[in-house]
Amino acid sequence: MYLPTHFNEIDPSEITTLLERNPLGCLVAQTEQGLCANHIPMLRAPSGALIGHIARANDLHALLAPKAEVMVIFKGEESYISPNLYPSKQDHHRHVPTWNYQVAHLYGRISFQHDTHRKRAVVGQLTKVHEARVNGAARWKMSDAPDDYIGQMLDAIVAFEIEVTRVIAKSKISQNREPRDFEAVKQHMQQTSRDMLAQRMERLPR
């Protein structure tokens, strides 16, 4: 990823926030059939590893050797930035359009797990986090469904864990603009409900 120094996101808490708010990762792997990409919700475990599951019918678990290297892309909020947003445009008109966004690339080695106990644990962790976020105290639980049905669903998936070895993150949020232009972009993010970009800009030391 092209990463100018001023866009390099090195704050671990900001990277964690990005992953938690945008849990649908794009898992990219090199296989004998070529590059393969799958879009999969994942969680970062306390150990730092990424966990999730794929359908058993998905050939990925058969195509990759144990501990194969993969990359996962987590994409945050993004927005087109028009030169018209910059107050300084009226002074010199030396601006062109650009795009603001947040993204993280996590590299690591993947292991697939076929045992029912591990699959149940992964599904349980994913469900607990996302149901609590969406439904709060009224959240759906695995125990709400019949045991035999849950068993059938678990038989149809394969769990995985990615041991993360490297993290590269980018927050391109107009850091390279003069203060009045930066503030104008931030206000536009707030007005257009780009809340995550606006909040990250608010937290940026200036």
Q: What is the mean pLDDT of residues 104-125?
A: 97
Q: How far is the CA of 34 from the CAs of 30, 108, 180, 201, in angstroms?
A: 6, 18, 47, 38
What does the pLDDT look like over 12-42, one tens digit per residue? 999 999 999 999 999 999 999 999 999 999 9
What phi and psi values does residue 96 have, to the nearest 5 degrees? -135, 165
pLDDT (tens digit, 9 = 90+) per residue, 63-89?
999 999 999 999 999 999 999 999 999
* 142 touches 169 (CB < 8 A): no
Domains and CATH numbers, the chain: 5-200 (2.30.110.10)
Average the pLDDT over 175-180 and give the result.
96
> Do residues 112 and 159 touch, judged by C-beta distance below 8 A?
yes
pLDDT at residue 206 is higher than 80: no
Contact yes or no for 168/1 (Cβ under 8 A)? yes
